[in-house]
Amino acid sequence: MNNIITFIYFIATISKVTGFDGIANLLPVETNNDTSIIEVAIEENKDYNESSDIVEEEPSVQEDIQIKEENILDDIDTNKPSRVIDPTKPMVALTYDDGPNATTTNKILDILEKNNAVATFFELGNLVERYPDVVKREEAIGCEVGNHSYAHKNLNTLSKAQIQADMQKSENAFLNAIGHKTKLFRPPYGNANATVRATIEYPLINWNIDTLDWKSRNADKVIAHIRSFQSLDGRIILMHSIYNSTVKATEIIVPELISKGYQLVTISELAYYRGFETLSNGVIYREFNP
């Protein structure tokens, strides 16, 4: 019943904002995964609905209307990929750390967008402050944004209070840029000792394929490493969004993986469709195998 009321308010709000009664028919619902539009269409797809932020956050009707009023005109013009996932088919999660970078991260987003694909970006709070628009764009095209600390310190060397202070700064950066905290955290260098695990109130996402892109700075080596695995199903691949060589590798690897039948998914999608409907804080995850 609440959904019907929300829907009625939604239509009423569109009419109020646009002054056009028939606009609901023109919305690109099938191809748009932005929360403010998909909410109407998503009711039909229970599985996807359960895994999405939309339901978990459950804004009140009043808040909901305000969000729509702010975004509705932009949304009409954006053409975003639909997120239809077949849980029976192979899936792999590309992850990019250490951004956002105004040049290279945006180039990676261009490639993902062109291929109707998504990835997860573990971003640094201090750079999120500098380039909030890149992080907004990541979310806008269906990618997932994760927290990678504020300043990329080795958290194993910090006290509990120092870790908390770093996290506070980083969370504020994400709050200011995208309006919410991230669901996931990746510790710098993958380092998370007992103190870190007890302090960070997020699921910790590491990887089980390390392309060493930061070391080689060589697209061919990154591509060759990813190709060397017989199956990538359920795997989490580590790259960094701040190198031109990684942009080049992404340009080759994204369409290639898709042509091999892999679905490129976010970490939360991969976890959800592999049976992890909720992830536990302080636990390190490296893969979500079938």
Residues with a catalytic annotation lie at: 97, 240
Residue 10 or 122: the one with the smaller Cβ distance to Zn ion is: 122
> Applying CB under 5 A, which part among 91-99, 251-259, 262-270, 273-281 lies near Zn ion?
91-99
Q: Which is nearer to Zn ion, 42 or 93 (CB)?
A: 93
Q: Count other Cβ atoms within 10 Å, centred on residue 8.
A: 11
**Burial group, residue 49, by CB count within 10 angstroms (0-12, 13-18, 19+):** middle
For the chain, what percentages of helix, strand and coil (3-state, to nearest 5) are there? 55, 10, 35
Rounded least distance, CB 67 to Zn ion, Å: 32
Closest separation between CB of residue 10 and Zn ion, Å?
Answer: 40
Minimum gap (Å) between residue 44 Cβ and Zn ion: 39
Instruction: Evaluate whether 96 touches 105 at the Cβ level (below 8 Å).
Output: yes
Q: Using CB atoms, what's the residue nearest to Zn ion?
A: 97
Phi-psi region of 142 (alpha: psi -120 to 50; beta: other; left: phi over 0): left
On whether the CB atoms of residues 79 and 29 are closer than 8 A, the answer is: no
Q: Give dist(CA 32, CA 162) in Å, integer.
A: 41
Q: Which residue number, 41 or 212, has a Cβ lying nearer to Zn ion? A: 212
Closest approach of Zn ion to the CB of residue 101, in Å: 13
Q: Give the number of residues in contact with Zn ion, rule: CB under 5 A.
A: 3
Residues in 138-197 at the binding interface with Zn ion, rule: CB under 5 A: 188
Residues in the chain: 290
The span from the CA of 53 to the CA of 34, in Å, is 11
Query: Binding pattern to Zn ion, positions 92-111, x when CB under 5 A?
Result: -----xx-------------
In the bound complex, what is the minimum distance in angstroms from residue 97's beta carbon to Zn ion? 4
**Of 59, 102, 84, 25, the residue nearest 273 (C-alpha):** 84
Site for Zn ion in 188-207 (CB under 5 A): 188
Cβ atoms 281, 201 nearer than 8 A: yes
Choose between 107 and 152: whose C-beta lies nearer to Zn ion: 152
Q: Judged by CB, which is closer to Zn ion: 38, or 209?
A: 209
Stretch that binds Zn ion, among 26-34, 75-83, 89-97, 168-176 (CB under 5 A): 89-97
Q: Measure the CA–CA gap between 49 and 54, rounded to whole angstroms.
A: 8
Q: Residues interacting with Zn ion, by CB under 5 A?
A: 97-98, 188
